[in-house]
Amino acid sequence: MSVSLIIAAAGSGRRFQAAGRKRNKPGKLFVALGPRPLLRRTLESFQKIPSLKEIIVALPGGSEKWVRRHVLAGYDGPPVRLVRGGRTRAESVWKALQKTSPKNSWTMVHDGARPFPPRQAVLELLRKKDQAEGWVLARPVVPTLKRVSSKNGAVLGTVDRTNLFEAETPQLVRRSLLMEAYRHHPDPFRATDEASLLESVGRKVKVFPHSGFNLKVTTPADLDLAEAYSLRGSGRPAAPVPVKAGFGRDTHRLVPGRKFYLGGVRIPFEKGALGHSDGDTLLHALADALLGAVGAGDIGDWFSDRDPRNKNIRSEKILRKVLEECRRRGWAPAQLDSVILLENPKLGPLKQIIRRNLARLTGLEPGAVSVKAKTLEGLGPEGEGRAVTCEALAVLRRIPA
């Protein structure tokens, strides 16, 4: 029997972004998992399955070109067709289902956010498919479950787990029955999975239990776990993730009558850094570190003090352009470390404000950014209060494809 595979990948990833991993590309499935996008890893999980004849991927609108270039380039598996998804997962699956070949009597649906479907379980499921009208890959519920009052959170009782399973994907159903379920269900686009659609029209669905690893990437913590698994849990070493590092250092005199900026944050003080720009010494050191990492010179090459257009330019704008150049060359920040050499003012809690702002400017989580402040015990121009010096180390990671 021939099978069509539908991969639901049209979600916006709101929970993923809300947890702090905002990306320029639409959807969480385009973030890197090792050296390639997560969606590519999901596709590769279904390679070399003889009964699988085609793959239909439901995507967010406007992402088709990016997927062809960064996900499908060099892919060696069943033919892939891209369709624009809908507002819900069920609507996306319906749009993809209509594009499947009628020659393939079975349809398998998988969440694109599950990059490690247990291969042996999937192969066994395909071998047993004729023993039911529909199948759900599922895991027995292990944690203790409590029934709780919606009013006050009081425990009402413990739920018997004996016959409880967590529904996962892939789910396998006869194509004709899934089409029928969509057409006869009163509100099909609100269904949470294919099994519930078949259940609603009286069809019998069986559970295919497994105990393997089938992580669904929903939050950045899930992605970290997936990256660790790709290196060790699969038993096969993943391709190393290329990194680059760059160092930057900058010094500015402190003079009265100037605003004082560090890391894009206005520092209350009677003096400010003298410079052709706004004098943000920390952002200048960081920009130099980033440019150094990709071998692109220094900020003097990009923002000459002889150019009147750069007079009083905000250093945040300098950093944005440097980040754009790094990304154009295929690199993005992974971690930042910095030291501020300054006698006065004492930065204290301002360090955390600067740290969070650097994370915002670079698109990193605060945990990937470090800001330290040191005095020089009265030694040198910094110790005498005549200057501020900043040093920065930037680690960059290769952007997939």
Hey, where are the domains in the chain?
A: 3-233, 243-398
Would you give the end-to-end CA distance of the chain in angstroms?
35
Tens of pLDDT along 319-363?
Answer: 999 999 998 888 999 999 999 999 999 999 999 999 999 999 998
Residue 377 confidence (pLDDT): 85
Q: Which pairing describes strands 369-374 and 265-266: parallel, antiparallel, or unpaired?
A: unpaired
Compute and round to an integer the Cα radius of gyration of the chain.
Answer: 27
Residue 136 confidence (pLDDT): 96
In the predicted model, is pLDDT for residue 146 greater than 70?
yes
What is the pLDDT confidence band of residue 91, given thresholds at 50, 70 and 90? very high
Residue 147 confidence (pLDDT): 92
Q: Are 371 and 358 in contact (CB under 8 A)?
A: yes
Residue 300 confidence (pLDDT): 86
What is the pLDDT confidence band of residue 36, given thresholds at 50, 70 and 90? confident
In the predicted model, is pLDDT for residue 26 greater than 70?
no
310 or 231, higher pLDDT: 310
Q: Which pairing describes strands 387-398 and 331-341: parallel, antiparallel, or unpaired?
A: antiparallel
**Residue range 73-99: average pLDDT?**
94
What is the pLDDT confidence band of residue 23, given thresholds at 50, 70 and 90? very low
Q: Which of 135-139, 200-204, 350-354 has the lowest mean pLDDT?
A: 200-204
Global pTM value: 0.59
Residue 221 confidence (pLDDT): 81
In the predicted model, is pLDDT for residue 306 greater than 70?
yes
In the predicted model, is pLDDT for residue 304 greater than 50?
yes
In the predicted model, is pLDDT for residue 21 greater than 50?
no
What is the pLDDT confidence band of residue 28, given thresholds at 50, 70 and 90? low
What is the pLDDT confidence band of residue 19, given thresholds at 50, 70 and 90? very low
What is the pLDDT confidence band of residue 230, given thresholds at 50, 70 and 90? confident
Tens of pLDDT along 278-290?
Answer: 889 999 999 999 9
What is the pLDDT confidence band of residue 301, given thresholds at 50, 70 and 90? confident
What is the pLDDT confidence band of residue 22, given thresholds at 50, 70 and 90? very low
Residue 231 confidence (pLDDT): 67
Residue 44 confidence (pLDDT): 93
Using alpha carbons, select from 153, 154, 114 the residue that is nearest to residue 137.
114
What is the pLDDT confidence band of residue 27, given thresholds at 50, 70 and 90? low
Q: What angle do CA 104, 179, 97 make, to 5 degrees?
A: 60
Residue 18 confidence (pLDDT): 44
Q: What percent of the chain has pLDDT over 90?
A: 65
What CATH number labels 3-233?
A: 3.90.550.10
What is the pLDDT confidence band of residue 179, given thresholds at 50, 70 and 90? very high
Tens of pLDDT along 150-172?
Answer: 889 999 999 999 899 999 999 99
Average model confidence (pLDDT) across the chain: 88
Domain 243-398 class? Answer: alpha beta
Residue 13 confidence (pLDDT): 55
**Residue range 242-259: average pLDDT?**
92
**Residue range 58-83: average pLDDT?**
91
